[in-house]
A = this chain, B = another copy of it.
Amino acid sequence: MAAAERMVVIGGDATGMSAAAQARRLKGPEELEIVAFERGSFSSYSACGIPYWVSGDVPERDSLIARSPEEHRSLGVDLRMRTEAVELDVAGQRVRVRDPEGTERWEGYDQLVLATGAVPVRPPLPGIDAEGVYGVQTLDDGQELLDSLERLVEPGGDSRRRAVVVGAGYIGVEMAEAFVKRGYEVTVLEKAEQPMSTLDPDMGKLVHEAMCSMDIETVLGAAVTEIRTDEQGRARAVVTEDAEYPADVVVLGLGVRPATALAREAGLPLGASGGLLTDLAMRVRGQENIWAGGDCVEVLNLVSGRPQHVPLGTHANKHGQIIGANIGGGYATFPGVVGTAVSKVCDLEIARTGLLEAQAAAVGLRFASVVIESTTRAGYYPGTQPIHVKMLAEHRSGRLLGVQIVGRENAGKRVDIAAVALHAGMTVEQMTALDLGYAPPFSPVWDPVLIAARKAAAAVRAG
C-alpha cells in the first residue's frame, strides 16, 4: 500500500541522509515513503576525515562511514546507490534518475530534498585530468588516491616519493600533513601570497612560517600553468610560471563549488556562488516542497549580513536535521553561520570565526584590529604552547566582528568562545567580563581570548 506522501532525497551524504533519518523518526512508513538516490558508492561518510585516512591516522576506510546503505535501509529509508539524478521536473514533481545499469526513469515526489553537495574546483589546465592527479572530495576520490599510492610503492627505491599539493587552504594543508606522515617530500603550491586565505595576511604569515619548519616546502605566488605527464600519460611534475616541481602524486586542494547543475537547469534560484538560495526553514526560495542544504546551498553570514557558500560537514548535518524535522511535521530553522572554521597542519592549529579585515571592509564596516600573543595553559604549566589571537571589533559600537587563532595544542577550539559571542552580538567590552574556565592546565589566568578582548576594547575606546 502506498504511503500518504513520498519524500525523495538526492544525495546520500550528511544533509540528505540526516534529513531522511530525522523525517523517518517523526513519520512512520505508512505516512511517509522515503527514497534517496546517491550517485557514488558510499553513504553518510565523513569527507572531512579523508586526509586522516590518507595519512594513515585512520586505518580503516569504513570507520569514516557513519551509516552504511544497509543501515539506512534497515531504518526504513530506501537508499539506492550509484543512482544519479539527471533531470528535475519541478512542475511535474518528478526527478529522472539513472541506475547503475544505465536505465533511466522518472521518480515522483511530494517533498524533494536537494543534497547534491559540492564538486572540487578543477581549473582547465593541460594535464589536470591525468592519472596521478587527485581530488579528495569524496570517499571514492580517497580510495582512488590510496589505491594509486599502493601501486607507487616500489621496494628498494632510492629516493623519497614526492607529493605536490596545489592550494594551501584547509584541504591543502591537511593533505600536506598527510603526505608528511606517509614519509613523502611535500611541496605545497599556492597562488596567493599566503597560505590559508581564510585568514588575514598577518595571521597567514604565521602559518607559513610554521609550515616551513615542518618539512613542507610552501611556495607562495605560485601560479600553476600545467601538469606535465610522461609517455604513459601519468602526472610527473607540476609546472608554474616560474618553476617545475617533480611529483609522484599531485593533489588538488583548490576548494569546491556547489554542485547545482540539476537545480540550475530546473530554474531554481541560485546565488552568486552558484549555491541554492533557501529560506530559514531550508526550503528552496519560492518552492513549497523543495528543500536544500549542505554544500549545495548558500547560507547567511550573520556577521556580514551577506549570503555565502560555506561547505562544511557541520552545517550540512544541521541542515539535514532541520529539513527532516520540517518535512516530518516539526519545526526547525537555520539562522545562519558566523564563519567558524578550525583546522590543523601537523601540530599547528588554525581557526577563525566572523569576518576577516577585507571581508569587514567590503560590507562597509570600520573596525579596530588587534593581535595578542599568549599561551594555551598557564605560562609555568608543562606543555604550555604559544597562541596568537587576532580580534576585530566594530568602531564605535565595539561589537565583536571576528577572531583568528594560530597556535599549537589547545589553541584552535578557543575559537568557539568567539563564535558564541558573535551569535550573541556581544561587544568586546562585554567579552572582557566572560567567566571562562580557568585552571593552570587549561588556561592562563586571563584566557588568551580575554586578553585579546581587553586589547580590542581599549582600541575601540581609543577610537
Contact = CB atoms under 8 A, between A and B. Distances in A.
Nearest to A376: B413
Nearest to A340: B435
A442 interface: yes
A419 interface: yes
Interface stretch (A231-239, A242-250, A267-275, A311-319): A311-319
Nearest to A332: B432
Contact of A424 (B58, B338, B424): B424
Contacts of A312: 438
A342 interface: yes
A86 interface: no
A292 interface: no
Contacts of A342: 437-439, 442-443
Given A413-B410, A430-B423, A314 B438 contact: yes
Nearest to A56: B382
A60 B423 CA distance: 42
Contacts of A434: 416, 419-420, 423
A423 B441 contact: no
A341 interface: yes
Contacts of A447: 314, 416
A437 B353 contact: yes
Contacts of A106: none
A269 B333 CA distance: 49
A42 interface: no
A439 B381 contact: no
Interface stretch (A45-53, A97-105, A187-195, A205-213): A45-53
Nearest to A318: B433
Nearest to A48: B440
Contacts of A382: 52, 57-58
B415 A417 contact: no
A419 B337 CA distance: 20
Contacts of A419: 434-437
A88 interface: no
A382 to B, nearest CB: 5
A407 interface: no
A64 B440 CA distance: 10
A445 interface: yes
A397 interface: no
Interface string A399-438: 0000000000010111111011111101000101111111
B353 A313 contact: no
A204 interface: no
A416 B440 contact: no
B313 A435 contact: no
Given A337-B435, A353-B435, A380 B413 contact: no
A414 B413 contact: yes
A58 to B, nearest CB: 5
Contacts of A440: 46, 48-49, 52
Given A46-B378, A317-B446, A344 B439 contact: yes
Contacts of A435: 314-315, 337-340, 353, 419, 422-423
Contacts of A415: 437
A318 B457 CA distance: 14
A271 B272 CA distance: 60
Contacts of A41: none
Sorted from nearest, which 8 A-B pairs have the closest CB atoms? A424-B424, A342-B437, A314-B438, A420-B420, A63-B380, A340-B435, A337-B435, A338-B435
Interface of A: 14, 46, 48-49, 52, 57-58, 60, 63-64, 170, 312-315, 317-318, 321, 333-335, 337-344, 349, 351, 353, 378-382, 410, 412-417, 419-424, 426, 430, 432-443, 445-447, 454
11 contacts: A64-B380, A313-B438, A318-B432, A341-B438, A344-B442, A412-B442, A413-B413, A416-B417, A416-B434, A423-B430, A423-B435
